[in-house]
Amino acid sequence: MNQKEKVLYALLLLFFVSLFTGSLTAFASLTTGAVVLYSFFFNSWQDKWRLLKQRRHVIAMLAFYGFLVLSALLSTNQETGFHHLKLRLPLLLFPLSIGLLDLRREFKEKVLVSFATITCVVLFVCLLSSIYYSGFFARPEFLYNDALVYILERQSIYIALLVNVSIFIFIRAIFYTQNKHKGLLVLGTLFLYAIAYLLASRIMFAWLLGVSVLFSFYYVIRHRKILEGMTLVLGMVIGTVVVYKMLPLTFNRYKEVAYSSFKFENMGRESHYNMQITEDQWNGVNFRLAVWTCGWELFQEDPVVGTGLGDKDAALTAKYTQKNFQYAIKTGRDVHNNYLDILYSLGLVGFLFFLASWIVLPLLRASQTHNALAILVILTFAAAWVTEVYFARSIGATLTGFFIPFLLLYTKEEATTSIGKNQELEEGAKEDL
């Protein structure tokens, strides 16, 4: 690495650490600001202008934030609108800074593996602390979900996404690079799989299992390792059964699907993975169905440009009041769906801006550069957005704003080189059989 790369690498490591420090907001702001500022001056403005014209997804991301600004200005409550703009600022700053860098492939791969390694170390510390707080397994509920990452002061849903991304990075390094530490990467991957289970994020864990099964079949068919493939699938089934018998609480969250009916006026308590599920409770499934109903009705009332960014909170509260949804008002809940939040606040116009800038054009760019990791991570974010309003929290906007533009830095030339290396690795694997 040259001197400029060393400085950027050090700043990125600090930034990655800040993603896991919920209470240290000043540290997070400083590291984020340092990464953004240094990235602005990493390459020349002429180079950035050239890259901007080539990277249509960055232009679309800037256009989407511009629409957010316009929506806030046209809102009745501009103060609230500017507050929401502040939370979504990473959606502007990272595409402008990280999204316009021109980095060597080796440097980018080192950064990604370093991030996944930091994730491993942080979650190992979390596991040790949870074991301690559980009285060394006397109270197993302290090993799950938000309790597992209690010391981080972050919601488990965001950590679960980072764990998934880290697993995909490790798997790519294991199967498609010449990394010298593949044994450690395998151990790290297995550890993160266990952590993903304990974090008990329904959608992230289901997505991880689905991707793992599909990749297993793809790899088996590609390399014609039928016996190994059958053994792998059987091992996954047996492993799941064993884990369920030893640590069953995660599966309690999936049982909530059977209790999807709701009444808006219900003031019953909210279920927990360590509780017996009953019909009179709110749970993660029926509560989301209830708030999604409210959000969809708001969208139908103003489908073109929505309520406006500054007026969306008041409009949602009014809808809750109309439905006598006192539980949602009392707990201050949003619609728990990033797509629906954009639909009812920005309308179809804003929603199309969002789809183009953060899903369609990024996927197109990743496809053109044969960047399977970027495709997988974009789809992982797309899945995570189904159950949470990511843009309503600075951490959600930060994760989106950084990782998608960074993973899209790979070029067509690098993709061609990567394909050649992958073919060499695959031929070597076949010769070893």
Closest by CA position to 203, among listed 149, 250, 271: 250
> What are the two backbone dihedrals, phi and then psi, of residue 24, each rounded to the nearest 5 degrees?
-90, 65
pLDDT confidence of residue 66: 98
Residues 139 and 249 in one domain: yes
Let me know if residue 423 belongs to a domain.
no
Residues 301 and 330 in one domain: yes
Q: Indicate the residue among 230, 255, 280 that finishes a domain.
A: 255
Let me know if residue 198 belongs to a domain.
yes
SS3 270: strand
Residues 299 and 246 in one domain: no
pLDDT confidence of residue 390: 97
Let me know if residue 197 belongs to a domain.
yes
Residues 173 and 70 in one domain: no
Let me know if residue 374 belongs to a domain.
yes
What's the predicted TM-score (pTM) here?
0.91
| pLDDT tens digit sequence for 225-281 | 676 666 666 766 676 676 667 666 666 667 777 788 889 999 888 876 666 777 888
SS3 283: coil
**200 DSSP assignment:** T
Residue 258's alpha-carbon distances to 202, 204, 335, 388, in angstroms, are 14, 19, 21, 21
pLDDT in tens, the chain (433 residues): 899 999 999 999 999 999 999 878 889 999 999 999 999 999 999 999 999 999 999 999 999 999 999 999 999 999 999 999 999 999 999 999 999 999 999 999 999 999 999 999 999 999 999 999 988 888 888 888 889 999 999 999 999 999 999 999 999 998 888 878 888 998 999 899 989 988 988 899 999 989 988 888 887 778 776 766 666 667 666 766 766 676 666 666 677 777 888 899 998 888 766 667 778 888 888 999 999 999 999 999 999 999 999 999 999 999 999 999 999 999 999 999 999 999 999 999 999 999 999 999 999 999 999 999 999 999 999 999 999 999 999 999 999 999 999 999 987 666 545 444 555 555 554 444 3
Residues 317 and 250 in one domain: no
Residues 285 and 388 in one domain: yes
Residues 286 and 353 in one domain: yes
Residues 6+ apart with CB under 8 A from 408: 55, 57, 99, 362, 365, 366, 369, 371, 374
Let me know if residue 417 belongs to a domain.
no
pLDDT confidence of residue 275: 67
Residues 214 and 279 in one domain: no
The whole domain housing 60 covers 56-102+259-407
Let me know if residue 89 belongs to a domain.
yes
Both tokens assigned to 201: 């994020």
Residues 156 and 278 in one domain: no
Residues 274 and 160 in one domain: no
Residues 352 and 340 in one domain: yes
Residue 9's alpha-carbon distances to 43, 98, 114, in angstroms, are 15, 12, 9
Instruction: Say how many domains are in the chain.
Output: 2
Residues 96 and 60 in one domain: yes
